[in-house]
Structure 1
Amino acid sequence: MRIIDLSSPIDASFWEPDEVVHRVLDAHQAALHVRDEMKEHFGLDLDPDVFPDGAFLTNDYLTLTTHTGTHVDAPAHYGPAANGRTPRTIDQMPLDWFVRPGMVLDLREAGTGTVGVEYLEREFARVGRRPRPLDVVLLHTGADRHLGKPEYFTEFTGLDGPATRLLLGLGVRVIGTDAFSLDAPFTHIIREYHRTGDRDVLWPAHFAGRQEEYCQLERLANLQDLPTSTGFTVSCLPVKIAGAGAGWSRVVALIEK
């Protein structure tokens, strides 16, 4: 089996709207740390010199959002659900949504903004079929070429409301993108709203999840490495964070040789 990594990294050197802080406790610092921890919590004395070279085990401390790096958005992220339902958090989602056949749709020629139903229908024709229920649909926008730079958050293609609802109506429950968001860039959305006064341009892909439960798979990478538009399995199991609206994921494509 060939495994293709479709994930972008969490990297504190990247430009992010919400800063990522990554602090490393090296092995010698960790020896002193475990000494203090054992004393404080368990009343035990431990001399750091007992470890080989006075070094214990390294540790990493991260401050970041659940929407940093490749991640899965749960319905709870989209706000209050219709009909008084309580939207599910990431730890409550069914695991069988996240290991499923994949389909790639090519949006690279669309430019910054959104695409609609007509664009998706052309892609279905190119691929040779429509998505099947529970297929993981991946949108190849090419936005990952800007990964780590401010342009990653302002120059990409998203879905409009009707296009999102089309996929949901076909039974798709996980929609992925190599862009920052399944919606258009924040800057584009706000400018369009001020230009038109139309509230339907405000985050329609996310808000569609209030009506129909689904998950977004955001900030993918390397979709150009997939040899075909179908015929592979996507594994995108999210980290089980209790009560969270999203969870990080190491997304891969599995291709039988």
Structure 2
Amino acid sequence: MLQYRAELDAEITLSNGGSVTARALLVEVPHADVTHPEVARLAVAALGLAGAKVDLTSVRVFGETVAAGGGRTPQRIEYVELSHVIESGMTTYAGLPGPVISAYRTWAESRPGYAEGTEFSFDRIEMIGQTGTYLDSPRHRYQDGTDLAGLPLGRLADLPAVVVRTVDNDGRAVDAGDLEPYVVAGHAVLLHTGGDRHWGTDAYGTDAPFLTEAGARLLVERGAALVGIDSANIDDAVPGGPRPAHSVLLAVGIPIVEHLTNLGELPPLGARFTAAPPRIVGFGTFPVRAFATMPWFEPHDHTRSAGWLPTAVQQS
């Protein structure tokens, strides 16, 4: 059977006054003769941006053969790395110690314990939980909060992702108004601020982007499953100041992932997010291998056919 999709470029004006530039956005359409107004309405529904106005600049409708039963089979899954590399002596957050990586037992030292020609390395790392890209459980903030071992996998793995872009915002704060257009219930909400471009420099922790208390409360009210940010801290890390985003999110069991990177490679919707730490009892924070997956469909004549391309969001 044949199924149709529209590939479009568009300028999308959000209901709160912001705007989105979409490039090579793919939208399911009912038939080959779909009109431009119909495509615009379907794009708004697919993005979850109720009340948005879509100005189409390019539309191409094409058909694909799908299996009986209606499901398209992706040719492969695209993986997007969202974690920073951990290496000995690195600085994640100014003032906190870097990891120390060493050998507990080298290959040569292991040889006497095995048959000839067999050897292994036993590596050791000494580090605090706040190293690299890491996840905060409620225990990080609250003494009686759930620790890493108590977090359900449903809060950590294969979550539908919503990417909120504030890269071009004038200020540092991600506020409730930035989050208002998005449907976040059950999703990993990933704040793409561009703060990761300063990773490894003194500028990384200086005047870094952050989530406001009002923004955190909106995400709680709307049922976000996890919140991540590509910045040094999800709070405005003023020395001695409050940490409202941590407090509000962790109080209701919403895990936080800090120091993400590469969020510009993700679509606003359509990716799946995973960031699972080890099951450690009595521990509140630990590094994760954060990544996203996206289905890659073929045939398609674009260089990227996962269904989305990165978009720029501009708040006016």
Once superposed, which parts of structure 1, at least 4 consecutive aligned residues long, lie more than 4 Å away? none
User: RMSD over aligned Cα, in angstroms?
Assistant: 2.2
Give secondary structure in 2 for the equivalent of 1:118.
helix
1:134 maps to amino acid: G
Match of 2:109 in 1: 29
Q: 2:90 aligns with which of 14, 19, 23?
A: 14
Percent identical residues: 25
- Name the structure 1 match of 2:23: none
For structure 2, list consecutive stretches of 5 or more residues without a partner in the other structure.
Answer: 1-76, 297-316
Q: State the distance in 2 between where 1:137 and 1:146 align.
A: 22
After TM superposition, give the deviation of residue 142 of structure 1 in Å: 1.2
Task: Determine the C-alpha separation between the residues in 1 that align with 2:170 and 2:253.
Answer: 28
Pairwise CA distance, 1:153: 2.2
In structure 2, the residue matched to 1:95 is 153
Which sections of structure 1, spanning at least 5 residues, go unmatched? 36-45, 81-85, 125-129, 194-200
Q: Which amino acid aligns with 1:212?
A: V
| Mean Cα deviation higher: 62-71 or 6-15 | 6-15
Q: How far apart are 1:101 and its partner, in Å?
A: 0.3
TM-score (norm 1): 0.76
Counterpart of 1:66 (choices 129, 132, 142) is: 129
| Structure with higher RCO (Cα < 8 A, 6+ apart) | 1
AA aligned to 1:93 is: L
Note closer, same or farther for the CA distance 1:62–1:111 as it changes in structure 2 (3 Å cut).
farther
User: CA, structure 1 residues 51+143, in 2 after alignment: closer, same or farther (shift >3 Å)?
Assistant: farther
Name 1:108's counterpart in structure 2. 167
Task: Return the match for 1:206 from 223, 246, 250.
Answer: 246
The yes-or-no answer on 1:51 pairing with 2:110 is no
> In the alignment, what sits opposite 1:165?
217
Given the alignment of the two structures, is residue 181 of structure 1 paired with residue 257 of structure 2, yes or no? no
2:158 maps to 1:79: no
Deviation at 1:100, TM superposition (A): 1.0
- Alignment size in residue pairs: 215
Of 206, 221, 224, the residue aligned with 2:261 is: 221
Contact 1:107 1:157 in 2 (8 A): no
Using the alignment, how far apart are the partners of 1:135 and 1:119 within structure 2?
16
- 1:154 equivalent in alignment to 2:154: no
Query: 2:204 is matched by which residue type in structure 1?
Result: Y
- Whole-Å Cα distance in 2 between the matches of residues 107 and 164 of structure 1? 15
- Per-residue CA deviation, residues 167-219 of structure 1 (Å, 9 max, x unaligned), is 111000200011122112x3xx23xx7xxxxxxx6111111135422110111
In the superposition, the TM-score normalised over structure 2's length comes to 0.63
Query: Residues of 2 paired with 1:114 and 1:132: CA distance?
Result: 19
Matched residue, 2:81: 5
Higher strand share: 2
Secondary structure of the residue aligned to 2:269 is coil
The question of whether the paired residues in 1 share the 8 Å contact of 2:233 and 2:259 is answered with yes
